[in-house]
Structure 1
Amino acid sequence: MQISFRLEVTLILILLLTGLSKSDYVFVTSIEDIEISALMERECLLLIDEGRAVIRSETQSPVFPIYGEYDRYGPIPEGADLYIIFNPLNRDLSDIYTLSKIHIKLSGDKTIINGFGSIDEEVRLRGAEAYKLNPLKPPKTLDFMPPRIEYNPLIDSLIDRVNEYENYKVVDYLSQIPTRYSFSSEISQARYFIRDKLREWGYDSRVFTYQYDLGEHCWIQDLHRLPDRSEIWFPMKSGYVFHSDDNGNNFDRSQSRVIGAAIYFLDSNKGWIAGYHREISRTSDGTLWQTIDTGFDYHYLDIHFLDENTGFMTTKEGQILKTNNSGDTWYVAHNISPIELHSITFINQEKGFVCGDAGTLLKTEDGGDNWSEVDIPNTDAMLRKVFFLNENVGWIVGFKGTILHTEDGGETWEIQREGDEYLIGVDFKDSQEGWCCGIDVIFHTTDGGETWEEVESDIPFGTLFGISSLRYNTLFAVGVGRILRSEDGGETWEEVNLGEFGKLNWKNVVGSKMGYEYPDEEVILVAHYDSISNLPWDTAPGADDNASGTSAVLTIAKALRDVRAKRTIRYLLVSGEEQGLWGSRAYAEWARENDMNIVAVLNMDMIAYLDEDIIDLDIRDTEPYTWLGDYIYEVGKLYLPEITIYPHQEGSGGSDHIPFWENGYPAICNIEHPGDHWYPYYHTTEDRIEHLNFNYQSLTARLNAATALTLIEPISLETTEDRPKVVVFPNPYRADSATSEGIIFAGVGGFETLSIYSISGDLIEKIDIEGRDSVLWPVSGSNDIESGIYLWVIGGNDGRLTGKVAIIK
């Protein structure tokens, strides 16, 4: 949204005149073509392009939804720009309130936004924090009239097919895959299992590929450069490591298989990464990494090596660990628990420093065997980074805008600066010029830190964890969703494009069966099949989260495989949920762009842990889709009265129904009712099958099967006699002896399309066969068709048939 100069001035006047009093209520109208209504109690303004809005306080009912009509103020046009502007003068806010469907938490200097709208981009308006939000799209299916809920013996008999044994088998298989972490290659085993099962049961099963941008969604806590400033590395939370040896112009990528918290390289080849928990990873060639379990249940914050054998790590729990064999084994050299120790560095082989919480600074003068506290100027700030330019000159930065300086090798320190900023990283080019960074800020000095100037930029800095100076006046700064580069010493900044190495292709699986009367109306059963844990690269069984939901979707698909229904049903298994709902968001946005008519989405996430004897279930829903929560509740009363259902539960649930809400589709989330406590093995390596209750899980699966069946309205069951016969010959096709130019499919009358897929699920060819009794797939004349196994799918209004064919060339 473009805001005119007049409007900007008006906003500034509002802020100045009101003085940001917490009791003021300001109502401003008719500022050009934008009307503003703002509640200054929370010290923020809301702007909506071509509309008016009210910010709600905790005691008020919602004034408007972001879609359609809102109270008496008229509609907000679809695609309108929505801004929330937080005044930066008060950084002590720690309150939670709701702005329409957007949940906002202000905690210290951090602004956390989540809910049914999504952050589209960060902008700056007159120095204030501002977030441009993506408003909810208007509901697409408000004209859909759900079928009446009444007892149907066919539905009752079909849901009995969903049993505990089938669910147990699927959860057992999925949870025995070492990890289904979306970044790992092992997740493909789960994907192939899901795809092949859906095909086995006769569904049109396809792989839906979407792209994950590592640069856009990165979390980088550290970066490291060699002393000669020729090379730079940074590890991502995803486990990927990026490296550049040409001043940051180009990057290559490797995989460390640990969640990178800190990184250190001795030279271009020998390096180590401290994983966030327990593990480290090391390389001797800069490319191939070896994972090592340290044996300690600590969370690592920084790492430093003196040579290829001697190294140190600091921990969140307050320990300094040391190794003398390149990281094979570690021992505790010092313990100052519970002080978090954030940063470690050595100025020579004997003398080193560690800084941490509550103004803590430790020193060793015997190579790290013994450590003692250092007297520093009176500060209780969290000290985040210690850096030395040489054996004498160094700096420490931390919260409360703290910058400390020494010129005698750390024997004495002086405070150069204090403020209210949160400083995290620091680097100096020489004794005079340096930079430090933190939350929404970069400072620059040209006099050794005597004075510091805040760097202005059109690009929002966000949370920056590290900054490094390379050759030719080049700087890099990294953090949460940020990889920034400057080629003029920090005067201007640009976001770094990681190129092809910054893109990952992730995959969903969707199985479909078309409806016979209303094929354009779709009901979707969805669950995420990826997992995560405290050691996601090695062990993430994810039995409850979310093999339980995945197995429910698959066992329902098996139970309903021969159902002829009025509406289309789809079984959607998504990846990337644990990284931020990326799989479901990609599918929901694709559906919206392609004008898909999704009438209901039933999401199942964590549905197998029962913490008490009562079989109960939470249903997460939201306006205007609470009808779906009521719907599943009434279906449950009719078919499964043994389940206690709690519809209209508050909270988004952080699961795969949310992207469908964002794109205007009715959706609910089935999730365990927490009872006395939440699942104790959530996101851990102990999320295993022995903790689950399969009677409870299967009842939840039956509930969703009954709801889906009621919505799609089953007509009848197919029988073997009902299914047409298709003859495929020759099979196998041998190029050296074939008498035809390809493979003939006979008996295809009544069908519309013939689709050929590779064994990996890629579409090879699609042929229109409507009105024909047989069709030839030309094989001999195509150089693109190689020897192998191919899958064929014949589909139309009468259903679909599948099979395999072999080609030998």
Structure 2
Amino acid sequence: KGELERCGAQAGGRLRVNFDRYLEPAGPRLPHATEIVNVVATLAGTQAEAKDRLYVVSGHYDSRATEVLDADASAPGADDDASGTAAVMELACVMARHRFDATLVFMAVAGEEQGLFGSTHWAEQAHQNSLDVAGMLTNDIIGSSRAEDGRIDSGQVRLFAEGIPALKEMPDRLRTLIATGGENDSPSRQLARHVKEIGERYVANFRVNIIQRRDRYLRGGDHIPFLARGYAALRFTEPNEDFRHQHQDVRTRDGVQFGDLPQFVDYEYTARVARVNGAALASLALAPAAPQKVEMDAVELENDTVLHWKANREPDLRGYRVVWRETSAALWEHAAFVGNVTQYTARGLSKDNYFFGVQAVDRDGNISVASYPAPLRH
């Protein structure tokens, strides 16, 4: 908190830093009721029409040893997750010197290893207060470029993005997504496409590898409480985890060093992942909001595709861009700027053969995340 306050003061006091604290009751991984404290730094947006739109980025500052309930053993947590926490703090310090239309929230959360406690509390409070969290990025284990077999892979980062969530009861919006073949067009997948495009544009020779999964196989992180409440949320993680340096007591066995120690962190690699975050967050917070109420005509049998949407409110809006791709493609392949209108007909492009999206564009060329159209039946 002190370091973030120092950065905020150097930036003219525009970074508001506070503790988000509450009492977590005892549970399977928490023998006693414990105060959980998140450190939250907020950089308020400067555009009246955009300041209530939030983008959240997090790392967790707790760590663990081999035994999850061992509160006495050394657990340095250099990669998991001092790397993510350091990235978030540096992002806050750098970005506080600049102005953005939308609001950025930088969080160092607690209790991830014991059950995603801190992030769950913040996400639930956001949900109860109807906050407009337009996107969330968590950085968890972003500090090593070395695989367990010694290979060095410093040229990419994994970005986990959920498609259709595993819910007992499916709401209408998800049912519509499946009915129209949009399993790969969830809000999180749209956010991931945007982060990949911007990250690779501004960080040279670095790949943002979208993994079409909520997280690593049957594992979790601090983005999951946001996903559970309907927010678009993603996870950054290094390409190859070395489990000798994760969730391990510090020890040497047969000449092999175990433990999550600073000596195994690649600081330049961590910085590159932080730069991807920074580029993506800046782009998101400068761009207009993703268009709302995007719909596709589904009345007539025709080979053209007609799209409608609600006009954005931003005063610096230039217009809209329609993007499309073949149904087998993971990323947008084509784009057309269509002007400051709320309807567009893509002539000769059948909705049977392509997926479509609509993006908002401002006068500086900043482009929003794409919105996937729902069917419009008159």
TM range (shorter): 0.5 to 0.7
The verdict on how the C-alpha distance between 1:651 and 1:515 changes in structure 2, with shifts beyond 3 A counting, is: closer
Question: Equivalents in 2 of 1:714, 1:572: separation in Å?
Answer: 22
CA contact (8 A) 1:609 1:679 kept: no
Which entry has the higher C-alpha Rg, 1 or 2? 1
The verdict on how the C-alpha distance between 1:622 and 1:714 changes in structure 2, with shifts beyond 3 A counting, is: closer
- Residue of structure 1 equivalent to 2:159: 619
2:28 to 211, 218, 224: 218
- Residue of structure 1 equivalent to 2:238: 672
Q: How far did residue 693 of structure 1 move?
A: 0.7
Question: Equivalents in 2 of 1:503, 1:679: separation in Å?
Answer: 30
Answering whether residue 183 of structure 2 is matched by residue 648 of structure 1, we say: no
- Residue of structure 2 equivalent to 1:683: 247
C-alpha offsets along residues 38-65 of structure 1, whole Å, 9 cap, x if unaligned?
Answer: xxxxxxxxxxxxxxxxxxxxxxxxxxxx
Answering whether residue 107 of structure 2 is matched by residue 572 of structure 1, we say: yes
Q: How far did residue 209 of structure 1 move?
A: 1.0
CA contact (8 A) 1:194 1:509 kept: no
Question: Equivalents in 1 of 2:6, 2:80: separation in Å?
Answer: 20
Answering whether residue 122 of structure 2 is matched by residue 587 of structure 1, we say: yes
User: Greater relative contact order (Cα 8 A, min sep 6): structure 1 or 2?
Assistant: 2
- Residue of structure 2 equivalent to 1:250: none
The verdict on how the C-alpha distance between 1:651 and 1:661 changes in structure 2, with shifts beyond 3 A counting, is: closer
Percentage of pairs with the same residue: 27
Question: Equivalents in 2 of 1:693, 1:576: separation in Å?
Answer: 25
- Residue of structure 2 equivalent to 1:509: 39
Structure 2 stretches of 5 or more lacking a match? Answer: 164-185, 251-258, 289-378
- Residue of structure 2 equivalent to 1:762: none
C-alpha offsets along residues 617-673 of structure 1, whole Å, 9 cap, x if unaligned?
Answer: 111111221011111111122111321221034252411000000011111000011
The verdict on how the C-alpha distance between 1:199 and 1:636 changes in structure 2, with shifts beyond 3 A counting, is: closer
C-alpha offsets along residues 312-364 of structure 1, whole Å, 9 cap, x if unaligned?
Answer: xxxxxxxxxxxxxxxxxxxxxxxxxxxxxxxxxxxxxxxxxxxxxxxxxxxxx
Q: Normalized per residue, which structure has more helix? A: 2
- Equivalences for 1:721-800 in 2 at 5 Å? none
Question: Equivalents in 2 of 1:209, 1:546: separation in Å?
Answer: 20
Q: Give SS of 1:633's match.
A: helix
The verdict on how the C-alpha distance between 1:531 and 1:510 changes in structure 2, with shifts beyond 3 A counting, is: same
Q: Give SS of 1:680's match.
A: helix
Q: How far did residue 683 of structure 1 move?
A: 1.1
Give RMSD over aligned pairs. 2.0
2:19 to 193, 207, 224: 207
C-alpha offsets along residues 197-221 of structure 1, whole Å, 9 cap, x if unaligned?
Answer: 455453110100122111xx135xx
Question: Equivalents in 2 of 1:194, 1:665: separation in Å?
Answer: 29
Question: Equivalents in 2 of 1:206, 1:570: separation in Å?
Answer: 11
CA contact (8 A) 1:519 1:568 kept: yes
Structure 1 stretches of 5 or more lacking a match? Answer: 1-191, 220-237, 241-501, 716-809
Question: Equivalents in 2 of 1:541, 1:556: separation in Å?
Answer: 22
Write the letter of the residue equivalent to 2:28: C
Question: Equivalents in 2 of 1:557, 1:709: separation in Å?
Answer: 11
Question: Equivalents in 1 of 2:83, 2:9: separation in Å?
Answer: 21
CA contact (8 A) 1:629 1:648 kept: no
- The alignment of Structure 1 onto Structure 2 pairs a total of residues equal to 240
Question: Equivalents in 2 of 1:703, 1:512: separation in Å?
Answer: 20
CA contact (8 A) 2:200 2:276 kept: no
CA contact (8 A) 2:8 2:96 kept: no
CA contact (8 A) 1:528 1:574 kept: yes
Question: Equivalents in 1 of 2:39, 2:127: separation in Å?
Answer: 18
C-alpha offsets along residues 218-271 of structure 1, whole Å, 9 cap, x if unaligned?
Answer: 35xxxxxxxxxxxxxxxxxx4x5xxxxxxxxxxxxxxxxxxxxxxxxxxxxxxx
The verdict on how the C-alpha distance between 1:570 and 1:523 changes in structure 2, with shifts beyond 3 A counting, is: same
2:192 to 622, 626, 629: 629
1:663 to 214, 229, 235: 229
- Residue of structure 1 equivalent to 2:136: 601
TM-score normalized by structure 2? 0.60
2:81 to 543, 546, 559: 546
Write the letter of the residue equivalent to 1:210: Y
Q: How far did residue 561 of structure 1 move?
A: 1.5
2:93 to 544, 558, 562: 558
Question: Equivalents in 1 of 2:267, 2:212: separation in Å?
Answer: 23
Write the letter of the residue equivalent to 2:205: E
CA contact (8 A) 2:137 2:235 kept: yes
TM-score normalized by structure 1? 0.29
Q: Normalized per residue, which structure has more strand? A: 1
CA contact (8 A) 1:198 1:205 kept: no
Q: Give SS of 1:579's match.
A: helix
Question: Equivalents in 1 of 2:272, 2:107: separation in Å?
Answer: 20
Q: Give SS of 2:157's match.
A: strand
- Residue of structure 1 equivalent to 2:168: none
C-alpha offsets along residues 395-434 of structure 1, whole Å, 9 cap, x if unaligned?
Answer: xxxxxxxxxxxxxxxxxxxxxxxxxxxxxxxxxxxxxxxx
